Amino acid sequence: MLLKKGQSTLEYVIILAAVVGAIILASVFVRNNLQTGYNDLTNTVQTRANDITF
Is a pLDDT exceeding 60 seen at residue 53?
yes
End-to-end CA distance of the chain: 87
Domain with 35, as residue range(s), is 11-40
The total of structural domains in the chain comes to: 1
Pick the more confident residue, 4 or 21: 21
pLDDT at 21: 96
Average of per-residue pLDDT values in the chain: 88
Virtual torsion, Cα 43, 46, 50, 53, nearest 10 deg: 130
Give domain status of residue 20, yes or no: yes
Instruction: Tell me whether residue 48 is in a domain.
Output: no
Q: For residue 4, tell me if it sits in a domain.
A: no
pLDDT of 19 strictly over 80: yes
pLDDT computed for residue 50 by the predictor: 92
Q: What is the pLDDT of residue 14?
A: 94
Domain-embedded: residue 17? yes
Cα distances from 9 to residues 5, 6, 15, 19, 49, in angstroms, run 12, 10, 10, 15, 59
Q: What 3-state class would DSSP assign to 20?
A: helix
Distance in angstroms (rounded) separating the CA atoms of residues 52 and 54: 7
* Residue 36 belongs to some domain of the structure: yes
Mean pLDDT of all residues in 25-35: 91
